[in-house]
Structure formats: C-alpha cells, structure tokens
Chains A and B, each alone.
Chain A
Amino acid sequence: MSSFKDSGHLFRLAAVFLGGILVFLIVRALLVPKTFGEYGHYRGSALTDLAARPAHYAGHDTCETCHADVLDKKKDGRHAHVNCEACHGPQAKHADDPGSEQPAKLDTAILCAKCHEANAAKPKSFPQVATADHSSGLPCDTCHQPHSPAIVAEAAK
C-alpha cells in the first residue's frame, strides 16, 4: 500500500467532482422546465399553453344551436354552406353573452362585393357582378335576401 500513501488527494479531488455534479444536477432541475423532453426536444407544456388560447370565432355549430330559424332559411339556398361568421365576423363573445354583445349590422353593398365583385381570376362558375353596373349603388339586400340570395317571383313567396 506504500505506493498509495498520498491517496487522500484523489478522494478530495473526487469529492470536488461529485460536489460539482451535484450542483449541476440541482441547477439543471431548477432551470429546465418539468415538461421539457416529454415529447421531444421542447417544452411539452407549450402544447397546452398554445391550446389554451381563447377562440374568437365560435364556429357555426354554436351559432346554429340558437339561430335554427336562419339555418332553415339558408338550407335550400346557394349560401347553405357559407358559415355564419364568414359574413357576420367573429362572434365568440356574442355566443358567451348573447344579451350584451350584439353583432354589428352589415352593409350588404360592401359585404357582398367582397366575394361577388367580378374578377378575371375567379372561377368562371362563381356568380360575379360588376357592382357599379349591376345595382347602381343600391345595397344588395334591396333585391336579394343574403341568407338565400336567389330572387323568387312575388307570387311564389
């Protein structure tokens, strides 16, 4: 054992290393979020953070639970598959509190043109008009009902 007579140095060195590793582990445990590495090299709870955002658009299923009458008007018309908020805008607040949050009234002269203004790049089968010629500035709902826009003869109504 005489060749190891000063082996105490080695143990002190090992203790320093162990202490260092221990400090590293403690600091790492404090700094690295618990969910880091849960699914991959990222913070797993970032998914729940992102999913927790509130939605601004309620979705047409929510609208239809109350506005079944509008759904009835729409169902046979050309706008049957146009969702409510596509025209009426984000209504999640209205859905949460229908009493105090009212959707804004829409100006059909502007609204309808967003889709139906003629443009060479639109598909040929899509109904398009040059609004200036078509209605001479009158709002579209003078003749068309937006929820079912085909014009039916007075007698057939």
Chain B
Amino acid sequence: MNVTRRHLLLLLPAAGVAWKYILAGTPEVAPNYKLADHWWSMLIDLPKCIGCGNCVRACQAENDVPDGYFRTWIERYHVNDYDIENPVVDSPDGGKKGFPPAKDPSGKNFFVPKLCNHCADSPCTQVCPVGATFISPDGVVLVDKTYCLGCRYCVQACPYGCRFINPKTDTAEKCTLCYHRITKGLTTACCENCPTGARQLADLKNPKDPIHEFLRTHSVQVLKPSMATHAKVFYNEMDGSVR
C-alpha cells in the first residue's frame, strides 16, 4: 500500500463532506402546521368537573388504550374537616363508568381529572436511554414507539404516574395530547367530549388564546410544583389536599 501523508490530507475534506451529508438528513415539513408557533398546555377548571368519565371513555376510544390502562383518569377526593392532610382518594376503573355514591357525603368531596402534565422539564424524557421519548418543539411529551425498548425507566421517573407499558406492544405509552388531532386544528378527544368545559386545550404561544386572561385572573396551580417539572396542566381552584 502506498498511501502518503499527502493522500491522507486529500482524503480529509472528502470525509468531512460525507459526514455533513450523513448528519443533514431530509427535513419533514407538515403543511399548515408550524411547530415553532405552538406551546401546548391544558386548563382544568375543577369547579366544573362532574366526574362523568366522558374524558376517560373518549381517550380510550380515540387512542385505543387497552382496558385497565389509562392515559387520563379521574380521581375522587374525600377530605375530612379534621384531617385535611390525608384525603381519601378513589378512582374505580379510572372513573370510566362514573362514580358510585360517596361513602361519606360529609366533609369535602370533589373530582380531579389527571393526565400527563406535558412538563417543560420532564423527568421522564431525561431518563430515556435511547431517545425514544422527547419533548416536541411544540411542547408535547411524546413516545416514539419504534425506538422504545420497554425498559420502564420513564414509567418510574414520572412523578404523576402518567405512563404505563402497553401489554400488547411492550412499549411505554402515555397521553399524546391527541397529537394527531391538535396538529390538524382539532381539540383533544377529552376536551371535545367534556360536557361542562372543565377541560380546555390551550396554546401558550397563541396571544389570542383565552388561557392568558384566565391565568391572570384565577388562582391556578399545577400538580407537585416542588418537583420543578414545569408542568403545563393548570388546575383552577385546586384544593391543597390534592396530590
């Protein structure tokens, strides 16, 4: 073999060009939907929630969620006057079939719908070892199921218990904020089917979205703010006992 230093030097630019080509790939363009123009979130107006289970049923129908697993569910809280730090929480079948009469109608009773909080600093995406879960440029935490190994790191990392392993595909699954709907200008299945308007999809990057006025004028909280996840599901008038 007769390779000289000169040959080597000539090869380097060629290798550089090849490397650049490999990194570039082909960009995908979605018509009429600009990723950079949106930052999705959800508002949950708790005083309006009647615990009917429409959101849970709609989510399961829209997203083919297997029975016994939930991308969204409803919890019923019962808070006693004398023990406000220890609420009794039940969620029979995720609230899918509604709720039986309260065992103890005294004290405080209310519903809290839950779903993925689409955290801006999400612990679940940080632990994924293979780049299967990520925060999309429009602020939705998603799972690429063709990349997911089913290692369950993300399931235990989520402080809100919003992920599960789909028993059919053996990959991590979660609320996609109905990504296939919101990118087409529709609202999510749960918001579409909420009869009282307790759930509202909101776009924080849209200055005309009523969410901005609402956040300014109401006492709104997120779940577990101490976890510093920058959750984007906002709960209006949430009781302090909610975990």
Interface residues of A (CB under 8 A from B): 11-12, 14-15, 18, 21-22, 25, 28-29, 32-57, 59-60, 79, 81-83, 85-86, 89-90, 114-115, 117-123, 126
Interface residues of B (CB under 8 A from A): 1, 3-4, 8, 11, 15, 18-19, 22-23, 25-28, 30, 33, 35, 47-54, 58, 61-62, 76-78, 98-99, 101-102, 105, 109-111, 131-137, 142, 144, 146-147, 176, 178-181, 183-184, 186-187, 189, 192-197
Contact in complex: A35, B25 (CB < 8 Å) = yes
Considering the complex, give the chain A residue whose CB is closest to the CB of B25: A34
Contact in complex: A25, B19 (CB < 8 Å) = yes
Known contacts A36-B25, A48-B30: A55-B186 contact under CB 8 Å = yes
Partner of A42, one of B30, B99, B109, B134: B134
Contact in complex: B132, A55 (CB < 8 Å) = no
Enumerate chain A residues within 8 angstroms of B180, measured Cβ to Cβ.
50-55
Contact in complex: A46, B50 (CB < 8 Å) = no
Contact in complex: B28, A35 (CB < 8 Å) = yes
Contact in complex: B147, A46 (CB < 8 Å) = yes
| Subset of 16 A-B contacts with CB under 8 Å | A12-B1, A29-B22, A42-B147, A43-B131, A43-B147, A44-B25, A44-B27, A46-B147, A47-B142, A51-B33, A51-B183, A86-B194, A86-B195, A121-B111, A123-B48, A123-B110
Enumerate chain B residues within 8 angstroms of A41, measured Cβ to Cβ.
131, 134
Enumerate chain B residues within 8 angstroms of A14, measured Cβ to Cβ.
3, 8
Known contacts A51-B180, A114-B53: A86-B144 contact under CB 8 Å = no
Enumerate chain A residues within 8 angstroms of B133, measured Cβ to Cβ.
42
Contact in complex: B136, A28 (CB < 8 Å) = no
Enumerate chain A residues within 8 angstroms of B77, measured Cβ to Cβ.
121
Known contacts A55-B181, A121-B111: A34-B147 contact under CB 8 Å = no
